[in-house]
Structure 1
Amino acid sequence: MKKISITLNGLSVTAAPGAPLLEIAAAHSVEIPTLCNDPRLPPYASCFICIVEVEGRRGMAPACATRAEDGMVVRTNTDNIRKLRKLGLELLLSNHHGDCVAPCNMVCPAGIDIRTYLSETARGNFSDALRIIKERNPFPSVCGRICPHPCEDHCRRKLVDEAVAINQVKRFVSDRDRCAADAWKPELAPKNGKKAAVIGAGPGGMSAAHYLAVLGYSVTIFEAMEKAGGMLRYGVPDYRLPPLVIDAEIEQILALGVELRTGQAWGKNFHLDGLRKEGFSAIVVAIGAWSGQAMGVEGEARDGVWSGIALLEKANKGETPALGDRVAVVGGGNTAIDCARTALRLGAKEVSIVYRRSRAEMPANPEEILEAEEEGVKMRFLTAPMSFSGSGKLISMHCVTMRLGTADASGRRRPETVPGSKTDMVVDSVIAAIGQKVRWDGFNADGLTLTKWGTPEADPVTLRSVSHPDVFVCGDCLTGPATAIEAIAGGRKAALSAHAQLSGLPQDLSPHPFNIRKGALKDLSPADYAQYPKMPRAKIPQLDAFSRARTCSEVSHTLAEREALEEARRCLLCGCQEVDTCLLRRYSEQYGAKGELYPGEKTAGTKMPRHPFIDRDHQKCILCGRCVRVCAELQGSGAIGLAGRGFVTEVTSAWSSRLPEYACKSCGQCVAACPAGALSAKFKGVNVPAWRAAKASAVCPYCGVGCVLDFSVADGKIQRLDNKFSGKAANAMVCARAFSGFDLLETGARLKEPMIKENGAWRTVKWDEAMKVASQGLKQNSGKTAAVLGSPRLSNEAHYLLQKIGRAALGTNNLGGPGIGGELDTAARALGFNASTAALEDIYKADLIVTVIPDMEARYPSIAAALREAAGKGARVHAFEAGLDPAAAARIGAELQPAQRPLIITEPALIAGGELAVLTNLLVFKGKPEGLLLLRAGSNAQGAIDQGLDGCWLPGHLPVTNTAARAALETLWGCKLPDTAGLSGPGIIDLALSGGIKTLLSWGDAGLDGLALGDAFVVAGEWTIPSKLHPAGVVFPAALFAEDTGSFTSFDRKIQQAQGWRPKGAPQPNWRILADLAKHLGLKGCEDLACLRQEISSANRLYGKSGWEAWEGPVNLYAWTGELSPVLLSPEKEKPPRKGVSSVSDMPDKFIQARLAEVAFMPEKNNGK
């Protein structure tokens, strides 16, 4: 086809005429966002996000539906396009009702992944929970005691009953780890040879030191005080935060290799230039805010008026300031509460907090306010001091009454003086706790530019000083007095920013990811959460008020394990499970779209019936139509459809029926296609899912197509399938067997240790003993009384070792297994090897397709979907199964003559040799022998054939009787090999049942359990614990498909590497166990996978291509090139068909007529009728 030329963003490119602009752009690595388009289907153009400018055309054009014309000039990323795409996304978001990220995560100053650590805690994975917390906070035990936990204020559980006690769960997790002998330690990056200095050992400085050390820096902390901790140690009372807790978490940071120098005051003992001369490449300033803010009223300088922060420092150092009996604390924050409660513990009899606003405006933690009141602290709201007077120790505090006016910048209503409302309070001491500032004491900060508030001026994004590029500022000295968790977050941000500057690697400095939310808590309805049962919140154990007020020891206690588990299980696990794959979120972030820009009514939608494998959140649906079209046009189901019109349009089940009852195949293709998280795979057999589950992939075990499955795995189990459509046919074609049955092989009790049968009972043994008994037993017999069975789910490497053990150690060609071996040699004799000459992709290129497989939809649903797609694109598709219809065959012959790209698809195991000969002859006559697809029922059945796990065939599809091929293997293996053909899988079982097999090695699902094999010595590799009726004398645990490591070959000769997921207790890869067994049997072997693969390359002509073992992704391993001249066969001379399979007819003309019957596989308009 002649190419045309178009201009794409100023560059001239060639393309096929009529190709969609979206497809052309993708081919030239130009990304155009799209939500509704599926390349397997005709354009839909419903989302209007893929718009582009086409010169000479009015307005915008959807790239998915606009076809290329010669000379067309296209622009894909102009300012106007971006503006309109942003508008389109915001309009979609206006009716998208969902949270990307849990609201608790979004309000945590450090951005801790709260939802995930609660999930891990609920599942008993305390170490994983601690690891997640420490990703953002190296002081979890400290914060578990003093954090004001804004996360709980925004907890959606409040719409059910009470907020989850998030902070207390964190305290339990961290205390448990802190007290453990094997406390968790972060993995450190290799030392990078660079030094970083941190000035100040408070929460901000220690946090910066922690993350710099993790990133590979040599870190030194300079601290003016005698001990590290900063305000944690000197500003928080011991009854809230015991020093031992601070010491323990500081020690964990120092254990990372961080050096601490105490008694080192900046400006006195060292200066910035000196640090630079010592070789420090980055300097983090985290000196805190240690001076109390003056009240600005007359008389506050007199004796008896204390700074709140100074008082707490003295108390925490063990001093006992004389405050007298009556104490007034001015302020309403957490420091004021701490001062009031500390005054009680210092002996004051009457303590009052004077605050100029009402209780509702108090910034202090409500829990702390309540506990202070319980201990006897009185509150005087709407009161402010105006001056102090008095003589001797007594102080007269002159106050005025306030009232609340309009809101100020903080959002709180501004206090105003009520005229004529003066009152006096007589007290012994006044504690001012209205704020803090940086204490410089005349020091010029070594030239750092300071703000008008006396804080170092720094870039708000990078925290880098505006005057010193190697200085980064964090904590209270930058922000003013804030919470410990805010300082900790700032320390981490400063560390990442310094690392970005020194390494040149960009870092994500935002504590929170891009998020679209349902709305504020106040805007949501409890009705949306009515499905959750009420569960009481955990009660925090603490001393009674009377005892609390009289002790400086810790007054609250950590939850017990049972309480923490139950509390973590109260979490609703808000947020979207598809957050990492959601295209709507990805494009919204890319284009800066805002989710709440167009407020208004959102479509409620009708809740669809529950599905056993699919979760649907109708409030997230953007009506792109992809699920509906994939279901109807690709899968042929039509189980869902669009109902209603206009604003009330919705996706619902067909005829409002239950999905499983109306044509739904549970294939999961709707989930794979959904771009907005409205559809997701359910977690199977999981009460509390792991939100940050590990990812694993494996080749699907259910047929030989070679689909790659992506899993979420946790706690030693596969939780769900994660496949999303990526445009690659194999990954996209996941069917119901994989989507809903991925855990089928895990349902039984897994075998984890070798076992030996003694006196009819199984006994668990060590591996060495099992290997010894197995090898000795297998050596007892050889030749025709020995046999080896494998499974089509095993890797190429395992198949190779099984046949090697059979031939070289047991001297037998009795090799095979269920779905392996016993193959007709028709294709090998006709075409040169026993494999497909075509590839899966040829389905989409063919103009005529003939299938000869009974019930393709049930046996190979992914191929059926591919055929539907091909038919939709114009291919003529004819489907047959065994039967008598010469007229239909004649019609196929007639259509074959003009076909340019014919393709024949069949499964050799289901047809007679004569019928396969007919099909190969058709292609040979046509001159298109490369058009044959031979399907295999097992995931690696083709690999088993390739590796010679067959009684008649050696590795590389060479006959056992081939003297030269056999001699080459004898040289490679160093032993004599049997020269006569052996039995296949079914024949082996029949002979064993009759007593003819005396030694049998079986690996995988060979179906032996329950068979009576007489006195045969059987060694088996099994996935599940065998019953007492299993004929084996020794069983080894075999690796499941998702756990195994090795290579797998699809029916169309593509090889894919699988790196096994190894959950705790999983066996070694199958090849490893078989290699050990081969060694015990006296064979020369390989100790590693690379060596084994090199041996395979030497033994197997088809796998001799250098480097196949290193390939990633599906790659054609060997191809039919025409070098071996195709041979015409005589169908009537082929082996007779098996019982129930028809034979062929006479061959009256060039296109031999097979007795084949056309079946109603395709829609009538596409099936050739």
Structure 2
Amino acid sequence: MPTITIDNRQVEVDNGATILDAAAKLGIEIPTMCFLKGYKPSTSCMVCVVKVNGSDNLVPACGTIAEEGMRVESDSEEVHQARKAALELLLSDHVGDCIGPCQAACPARMNIPLMIRQIAAGKLGDAIATVKKDIALAAVLGRICPKPCEQACRRTVFDEPVSICLLKRYVADLDLQSANPYSPACKPGRDKRVAIVGAGPAGLAAAYYLQIDGYSCTIFDDHEKPGGMLQYAVGEQQLPRDLLDNEIALVRKLGAGFQGTTRIGTTLTMEDLRRDFDAVFVAIGKLELGDAESMGLQTGPNGIAINNRTYETNLPGVFAGGGTVRKRRLAVRAVADGKEAAVAIGQYLSGRPVTGPPIAFNTRIGKLKDGEIEVFMAGVAKGNRVTPSPEGSGFSTRQARDEAARCMHCDCRKPQSCKLRQYARQYRAKPSRYKGQRRSFVQQLQHPDIIYEPGKCINCGLCIQIASQAREPLGLTFIGRGFDVRVAVPFDHSIAEGLKHAANQCVEACPTGALAFKGKNGSTGSPSRANSRDRPQNKHES
């Protein structure tokens, strides 16, 4: 039984064990993409490379047998750079969007394609949970948002964008009208208190997400009622006040307190708030002369000066967002600021480094080639954009489902489990480092449950091995030569014919989004498992 050393730690392993096995025994994580326990390693991705002392070349940990006396480095700068380069090579041949163009354009980064799939499947309870994960005031924004998501909708290349805001409004309105509107579970109280100055969209959103995270919030505002510009600057016809009040009530239901007719600098001072609370979030909208100075806050060209990633001001423990820090005062941007500031405030209160929300790694297809819009439109309803009647009203259930059927689902169905995305973020890989002519976007939709997108395949061969072990009559194989090698079903048969039995297993083993579940039921998981994960439907779901 050989003994080897990895990162100055010794371990004894069985004969025939690999460096990857030895690292796992030590609890050292080495990234892998083309490796799956129980299957022959292809060593094709080279993401698991390590340095063996005495060797001029880096070697793949998944396929290199451990030998007596080996000294291995898995965490050096040389190894990190090699892994980064391997990831960038894979990304150079990657064709797909990690998130849809609509989600990328949304200031709150709401998972719009998932919401639409849930609406199409009638999973309205899940749909409102998806919306509220990122947008605290969903019914409000369903009426007043300037719709940057629709401007970015890829369907505009074909005809008209999907009516995303009306779909969001449909879900939010039904939820508000239900006997038991959606209210997320809050974490246990953390014995920390946050003062929120300003009861507009940014302040309300911050309170919503901080309460969910277990922090007790009190909102202060110089007006009698909460809502800020939503309450006092938007017309009643565009934004009915009973609807606004009902949505604000859901924020207060989570435990947020409200103290009106209170002006910071007059009724209370910033010193009072910093003394009595553990953190302060300032979201008072447009600054009036002397506002910032009265609170001891520095100003910049757009308002109160902040760290753009963390929303921190010059005062420790004091954060600011919304129209207070921006020239362009949009409610959707303010709601996004409140959500993101809540993350930073939570980091501050828990003693963690204040870094703000994590920056997601995303690849984009970019401008479509000739014929690619037709690929996206395959299997999508070709009907015109649905328009409610009378104008200004919302969708009926039938209209909402018809409009949801127009979505092309440009997003990746495996954004959270894609190893390529995960490691690209970890190693700060740059998709554009190795530039070349990209492959055409292709989708194979013939299978009832799964999608195959060859442009996301890294040729690891795991699906080929799995199909072979499952004794698929046709299965999968490599075809082509050199840079043109790809995984396909033999003899130009469809993916449905190639994977009659092992489709689910292949999807779960695929390290990227090349093989993914369609999510027809509003889920991104296996069709056989989805029903067990569904939450109970609200009474208005049908």
TM-score, L = length of structure 2: 0.89
CA 1:524 to 1:458, structure 2 compared with 1: closer, same or farther past 3 Å? farther
1:461 to 306, 309, 313: 309
Contact 2:193 2:215 survives alignment (8 Å): yes
2:467 aligned partner:
631
1:114 to 112, 115, 124: 112
Q: Is 1:205 paired with 2:196?
A: no
CA 1:439 to 1:594, structure 2 compared with 1: closer, same or farther past 3 Å? same
2:540 aligned partner:
none
Could you list the per-position Cα deviations for residues 102-124 of structure 1 after superposition, in whole angstroms to 9, with x for gaps in the alignment?
Answer: 22222211121212222222223
2:169 aligned partner:
171
Alignment of 1:40-119 (within 5 A): 40-119=38-117
* SS of alignment partner, residue 278 of structure 2: strand
Q: Is 1:137 paired with 2:156?
A: no
Could you list the per-position Cα deviations for residues 847-889 of structure 1 after superposition, in whole angstroms to 9, with x for gaps in the alignment?
Answer: xxxxxxxxxxxxxxxxxxxxxxxxxxxxxxxxxxxxxxxxxxx
Q: Is 1:691 paired with 2:523?
A: yes
Contact 1:198 1:285 survives alignment (8 Å): yes
Return the offset for 1:92.
0.9
* SS of alignment partner, residue 325 of structure 2: helix
Q: Is 1:598 paired with 2:415?
A: no
2:529 aligned partner:
712
2:357 aligned partner:
510
1:447 aligned partner:
296
Return the offset for 1:643.
1.4
Could you list the per-position Cα deviations for residues 783-839 of structure 1 after superposition, in whole angstroms to 9, with x for gaps in the alignment?
Answer: xxxxxxxxxxxxxxxxxxxxxxxxxxxxxxxxxxxxxxxxxxxxxxxxxxxxxxxxx
2:491 aligned partner:
655
Contact 1:613 1:666 survives alignment (8 Å): no
* SS of alignment partner, residue 712 of structure 1: helix
Could you list the per-position Cα deviations for residues 637-681 of structure 1 after superposition, in whole angstroms to 9, with x for gaps in the alignment?
Answer: 673211111121122222334567679654654334322222235
Return the offset for 1:143.
0.8
CA 1:256 to 1:571, structure 2 compared with 1: closer, same or farther past 3 Å? same
CA 1:462 to 1:711, structure 2 compared with 1: closer, same or farther past 3 Å? farther
CA 1:633 to 1:471, structure 2 compared with 1: closer, same or farther past 3 Å? same
**Partners of 2:105 and 2:297 in 1: how far apart?**
32
2:122 to 115, 118, 124: 124
1:4 aligned partner:
2
Look up the equivalent residue of 1:444 and give its one-letter code: E
1:489 to 336, 344, 361: 336
1:673 aligned partner:
509
2:451 aligned partner:
615
1:282 to 272, 279, 282: 279
Contact 1:177 1:183 survives alignment (8 Å): yes
**Partners of 1:151 and 1:52 in 2: how far apart?**
43
Look up the equivalent residue of 1:159 and give its one-letter code: V
* SS of alignment partner, residue 444 of structure 1: helix
**Partners of 2:521 and 2:457 in 1: how far apart?**
23
Return the offset for 1:53.
1.0
Return the offset for 1:601.
2.3
Contact 2:372 2:441 survives alignment (8 Å): no
**Partners of 1:647 and 1:536 in 2: how far apart?**
41
Return the offset for 1:540.
4.2
Give identity over the alignment, percent: 35
Contact 2:472 2:502 survives alignment (8 Å): no
CA 1:668 to 1:492, structure 2 compared with 1: closer, same or farther past 3 Å? closer
CA 1:446 to 1:159, structure 2 compared with 1: closer, same or farther past 3 Å? closer
**Partners of 2:445 and 2:134 in 1: how far apart?**
40
Return the offset for 1:199.
0.8
Return the offset for 1:558.
2.0
Return the offset for 1:203.
0.9
Return the offset for 1:441.
3.3
Alignment of 1:228-627 (within 5 A): 228-277=226-275, 279-289=276-286, 438-441=287-290, 444-451=293-300, 453=301, 455-466=303-314, 468-504=315-351, 509-510=356-357, 513-520=360-367, 525-531=372-378, 532-541=380-389, 556-604=392-440, 610-611=446-447, 614-627=450-463
Look up the equivalent residue of 1:691 and give its one-letter code: S
- With 7-16 and 649-658 compared, the bigger mean Cα shift is at 649-658
Alignment of 1:932-1081 (within 5 A): none
CA 1:251 to 1:511, structure 2 compared with 1: closer, same or farther past 3 Å? farther
1:759 aligned partner:
none
* SS of alignment partner, residue 164 of structure 1: coil
Structure 2: segments with no counterpart, 5+ residues: 538-542
**Partners of 1:195 and 1:609 in 2: how far apart?**
51
Could you list the per-position Cα deviations for residues 82-102 of structure 1 after superposition, in whole angstroms to 9, with x for gaps in the alignment?
Answer: 112111111111112122222
1:221 aligned partner:
219
Return the offset for 1:507.
8.9
Look up the equivalent residue of 2:382 and give its one-letter code: K
Higher relative contact order (CA 8 A, sep 6+): 2
Could you list the per-position Cα deviations for residues 311-331 of structure 1 after superposition, in whole angstroms to 9, with x for gaps in the alignment?
Answer: xxxxxxxxxxxxxxxxxxxxx
* SS of alignment partner, residue 284 of structure 1: strand
Return the offset for 1:530.
4.2
**Partners of 1:482 and 1:180 in 2: how far apart?**
32
Look up the equivalent residue of 2:93 and give its one-letter code: N
Point out the structure with the larger helix share: 2
**Partners of 2:393 and 2:445 in 1: how far apart?**
46
Look up the equivalent residue of 2:522 and give its one-letter code: A
Contact 1:99 1:515 survives alignment (8 Å): yes
TM-score, L = length of structure 1: 0.43
Look up the equivalent residue of 1:128 and give its one-letter code: D
Return the offset for 1:234.
3.1
* SS of alignment partner, residue 242 of structure 2: helix
Contact 2:311 2:344 survives alignment (8 Å): yes
Contact 1:605 1:650 survives alignment (8 Å): no
1:1157 aligned partner:
none
Structure 1: segments with no counterpart, 5+ residues: 290-437, 544-555, 696-709, 719-1060, 1065-1169
**Partners of 1:180 and 1:261 in 2: how far apart?**
28
**Partners of 2:444 and 2:226 in 1: how far apart?**
58
1:642 to 448, 461, 478: 478
Return the offset for 1:472.
1.2
